[in-house]
């Protein structure tokens, strides 16, 4: 109630709450005055005088309290003057309540209640020292007035106790309010973090989709470019229309295979799995390469086969496809070997192709000239990025007359929770 005017936000709802607060304070104080002076007036002149002065001082305090909340220009001075204003209310109503009690007037009860309200506000709205000062001033004024009018022992103890108890309730109320504000701030921060997490997840998913589609299309279009350039070379160098037609037919078939591979990639993204295990996917890619380019290509495995997570399977497959396309571009007609090794802690893929003879023509088995595709050097970079996401490593370079691409990916141990074997059980 007491901080509603400060904490109410902008807009119609906040303005309405402030008006309700101001009207409630004003009507409450007027009702206290009616009870103290109209319905239950004190019998003695001295008591009436002290009660009227105290009520008047408290009234000035209530008016200033409302003004501090209502006038925007007064907002910067509120924290400085609010303890004094609340002290006026506590002192005025406390002295008036004791005077009324000394005159055996029931009006002391509503007056001391408003002093109680003032100390509650002090406990919840101002600092600890200021709240204690407001309460001490109210209690002291009440005691002085009570002693002056020789009130009963019950009133002498009860009236100051009522005023003093307000500050305790106010401090507790302030602590609850701070906790509520902190909880609201934490909730807002949590919602913001969740929104940022959702945004990061969306960006990560977009990056994953973009990388997968890029790699599939780069592999398919790269192979298609090689085939078309081979057909053009056959036509230009040997005018072999029949062989060129075969190459173009193969290129058309590769286009259909590329569309099928793209559909498989989209299915893998949706289902987070591939139709075949890693060794079968690699064997299939190796056979396709051998048939497509008419070169010797062999696939072998080592170690007991283990289930490989879908993301690792896709990464290894794309790396093998990229390495095979590079072999077709840079070492046309040379033998290629693909090997997959299952080891205790990881899986290792090696794609090796013989280098073209030094000073050779670089032509394939059909005599086609060496071909190139516009990869802008992103092939190795893309492969490394895929592996880094999965904490893997990759190396590529010459080794004893061969170009070797080696990739390693860690795998969960079979006896650990979350491993593919345990998840499948």
Kindly write down the DSSP assignment for every residue of 188-255, as one continuous string. Answer: HHHHHHHHHHHHHHHHHHHHHHHHHHHHHHHHHHHHHHHHHHHHHHHHHHH--HHHHHHHHHHHHHHH
> Residue 407 forms beta bridges with which residues?
349, 394
Q: How many angstroms separate the CA atoms of 377 and 216, rounded?
A: 16
Closest of 393, 235, 398, 226 to residue 315, by C-alpha: 393
- How confident is the model over 58-91, as pLDDT tens digits? 999 888 888 887 787 877 888 889 999 999 999 9
What local confidence, expressed as pLDDT, does residue 265 receive? 67
| b/e code 117-134 from CB counts within 10 Å (16+ = b) | bbbbbbbbbbeeebbbbb
What local confidence, expressed as pLDDT, does residue 201 receive? 77
- What residues of the chain score a pLDDT lower than 70? 1-15, 214, 218-219, 264-275, 358-380, 413-425
- How confident is the model over 228-266, as pLDDT tens digits? 887 888 788 777 888 788 778 877 777 777 777 777 666
The three-class DSSP label of residue 394 is strand
- Specify the long-range contacts of residues 237-240, CB closer than 8 Å, at least 24 apart: 237/367, 237/368, 237/369, 238/367
| b/e code 208-247 from CB counts within 10 Å (16+ = b) | eeebbeebbebbbbbbbbbbbbbbbbbbeeeeeeebbeeb
CB 211 within 8 A of CB 382: yes
What local confidence, expressed as pLDDT, does residue 164 receive? 92
- The pTM of this model reads 0.48
User: Which residue's structure tokens are 């009963």?
Assistant: 152
Helix (H) or strand (E) holding 282: helix 278-293
What local confidence, expressed as pLDDT, does residue 12 receive? 60
Classify 161 in phi/psi space as left (phi over 0), alpha (psi -120 to 50) or beta: alpha
DSSP 8-class letter at 72: G
CB 359 within 8 A of CB 367: no
Q: How many angstroms separate the CA atoms of 81 and 71, rounded?
A: 14
DSSP 8-class letter at 408: E
Tell me the residue ranges of DSSP E strands in 17-167. Answer: none
User: Judging by DSSP bridges, how do beta strands 346-354 and 402-410 pair with one another?
Assistant: antiparallel
């Amino acid at each position: 109630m007491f901080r509603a005017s400060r904490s109410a936000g902008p807009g119609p709802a906040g303005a309405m709450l402030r008006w309700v607060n101001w009207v409630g304070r004003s009507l409450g104080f007027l009702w206290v005055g009616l009870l103290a002076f109209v319905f239950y007036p004190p019998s003695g002149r001295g008591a009436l005088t002290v009660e009227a002065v105290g009520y008047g001082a408290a009234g000035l305090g209530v008016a200033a309290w409302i003004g501090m909340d209502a006038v925007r220009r007064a907002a910067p001075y509120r924290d400085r003057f609010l303890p004094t204003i609340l002290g006026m209310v506590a002192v005025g109503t406390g002295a008036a309540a004791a005077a009324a009690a000394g005159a055996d007037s029931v009006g002391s009860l509503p007056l001391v209640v408003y002093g109680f309200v003032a100390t509650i506000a002090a406990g919840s709205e101002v600092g600890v020292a200021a709240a204690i000062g407001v309460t001490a001033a109210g209690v002291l004024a009440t005691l002085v007035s009570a002693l002056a009018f020789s009130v009963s022992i019950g009133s002498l103890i009860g009236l100051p106790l009522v005023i003093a108890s307000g500050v305790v309730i106010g401090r507790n109320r302030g602590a609850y309010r701070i906790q509520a504000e902190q909880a609201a701030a934490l909730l807002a921060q949590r919602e913001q973090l969740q929104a940022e997490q959702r945004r990061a997840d969306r960006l990560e998913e977009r990056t994953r989709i973009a990388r997968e589609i890029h790699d599939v299309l780069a592999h398919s279009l790269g192979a298609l470019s090689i085939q078309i350039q081979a057909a053009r070379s056959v036509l230009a160098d040997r005018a072999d229309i029949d062989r060129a037609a075969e190459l173009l037919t193969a290129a058309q078939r590769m286009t259909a295979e590329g569309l099928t591979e793209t559909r498989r990639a989209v299915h893998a993204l949706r289902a987070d799995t591939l139709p075949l295990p890693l060794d079968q996917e690699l064997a299939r890619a190796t056979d396709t390469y051998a048939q497509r380019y008419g070169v010797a290509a062999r696939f072998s495995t080592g170690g007991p086969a283990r289930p490989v997570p879908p993301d690792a399977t896709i990464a290894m497959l794309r790396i093998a496809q990229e390495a095979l396309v590079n072999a077709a571009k840079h070492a046309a007609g040379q033998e290629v070997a693909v090997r997959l090794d299952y080891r205790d802690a990881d899986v290792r893929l090696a794609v090796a192709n013989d280098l073209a003879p030094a000073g050779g023509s670089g032509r394939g088995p059909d005599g086609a000239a060496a071909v190139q595709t516009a990869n802008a050097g992103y092939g190795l970079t893309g492969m490394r990025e895929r592996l880094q996401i999965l904490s893997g490593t990759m190396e590529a370079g010459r080794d004893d007359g061969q170009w070797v691409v080696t990739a390693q990916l860690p795998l969960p141990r079979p006896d650990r929770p979350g491993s593919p074997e345990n998840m499948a059980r």
